[in-house]
Amino acid sequence: MATKTTTLCTGVLLLSFTAFAAATPDISKLPPAAAKKGLTYDNDIKPMFANSSLKCHGEDKPKSKYRVDSREAAIKGGKSDEAAVIPGKSEKSPMVLFVADLVEDMEMPPTDKRDKYPALTKDQIALIRAWIDQGAK
């Protein structure tokens, strides 16, 4: 009987680790942060979102209650109550992971809408990373 219990526990543990590994983004796929210093949301980050994010995450009916029309709203996050930006930690910030397509089913903009809303480039993602790593000011 102990063997069956041990085997069952081992199987459950392996499934848990597999699910965790599948959910953990591979941050080695992120472009490095840009070298540009003194980045601000209003001057450098918000303009990038004009073509790809503001239509769905603006003031009017923001999807998932997430807005990117102001620095404060972009950092705060949406309905999940999880901050979208963790100042100083771009590799752990959901905003970066989503725009870099590292979280399955959370790619932003959604892959099926990219004909209308273009994905951000690696250079743009690198600027977002630098802005966050510099304190998200």
Q: Write down the domain spans for the chain.
A: 28-133
Which distant-in-sequence residues (6+ apart) come within 8 Å of 90 by Cβ?
30, 33, 96, 128, 129, 130, 132, 133
SS3 content of the chain, % helix, strand, coil (to 5): 50, 0, 50
CA-only gyration radius of the chain, Å: 18
Taking the C-alpha atoms of residue 121 and residue 105, their distance in angstroms, rounded to an integer, is 19
What tokens does 111 get?
């892959």
* DSSP summary character for residue 31: P
Taking the C-alpha atoms of residue 121 and residue 99, their distance in angstroms, rounded to an integer, is 9
pLDDT tens, the chain, 137 aa long: 555 544 433 333 333 333 334 468 999 999 999 999 999 999 999 999 887 787 888 888 888 899 999 999 999 999 888 999 999 999 999 999 999 999 999 999 999 999 998 999 999 999 999 999 999 99
